[in-house]
Amino acid sequence: MSCASIFLSIVAALSIGAMSPGPSFVLVSRISMSRSRLDGLAAALGMGIGGVAFSMLALAGLTALLSQFEWLYVALKVAGGIYLVYIALMIWRGASKPIQVGDAGTDNRALLRSFATALFTQISNPKTIVVYASIFAALLPKTVPLGLFLAVPVGVFLVEAGWYAVVALAFSARHPRRLYLAAKAWIDRLAGTVMAGLGVQLVTSGIAGR
């Protein structure tokens, strides 16, 4: 199999994983509806960079370290789950508060906050690195050519940032935003509940796997 075929196979497998619903989807869609389109795109950028970080760690063999020291993997899962629950509580607490939605998103601090929140949400789930490592182990040759080694993180970024940019553009459109504003309290509480459930699941799976 050529390097190009291997790269495309990895991108296809990662795309399927990225499009599956999870905390990242919940977060980016909510940021896009409640803040601005630029905030949503900043969050998509955070997701892409988080994906690159995990892909580089997977290529570097961190998964071998995590499998050798199970307590480290458990600690990362518990810490990631607690972070997701924290985000869920923040969303729930703000559910009843009115917001003023902007279209420009010119506040650089707000954009940075959207970027950072998405980045930390992406890296809060250590299962991601396991998924990456599994795909890489299945599709990469035993000796990875330098060009392919450098191309894989780029592919990860394009998949993660590209998909969540589509999510940001879709949910920041006028009609989804109007629906969100009309039912903000209920949507935020639902988003918070989903996020908390995912966080609790991450914590309990980590503890149960000890």
Evaluate if residue 3 carries a pLDDT over 60: yes
d(CA 114, CA 108): 10
DSSP letters for 5-62: HHHHHHHHHHHHHHHS-SHHHHHHHHHHHHT-HHHHHHHHHHHHHHHHHHHHHHHHTH
Evaluate if residue 193 carries a pLDDT over 50: yes
d(CA 7, CA 152): 7
d(CA 24, CA 117): 10
Q: Which tens digits make up the pLDDT trace of 24-46? A: 888 898 888 888 889 999 999 99
Write down the pLDDT at residue 146: 84
Stated pTM of the model: 0.75
DSSP letter at 98 equals -
Averaged pLDDT score across all residues of the chain: 80
Please give the average per-residue pLDDT across 114-128, as a whole number: 86
Highest mean pLDDT out of 99-113, 131-145, 166-180: 166-180
Beta carbons within 8 Å of 144's beta carbon, 6+ residues apart: 59
Write down the pLDDT at residue 199: 75
Residue in the block written with tokens 């972070």 = 83
d(CA 115, CA 159): 17
Write down the pLDDT at residue 95: 67
Q: Which tens digits make up the pLDDT trace of 47-85? A: 999 999 988 888 877 556 656 667 766 776 777 678 778
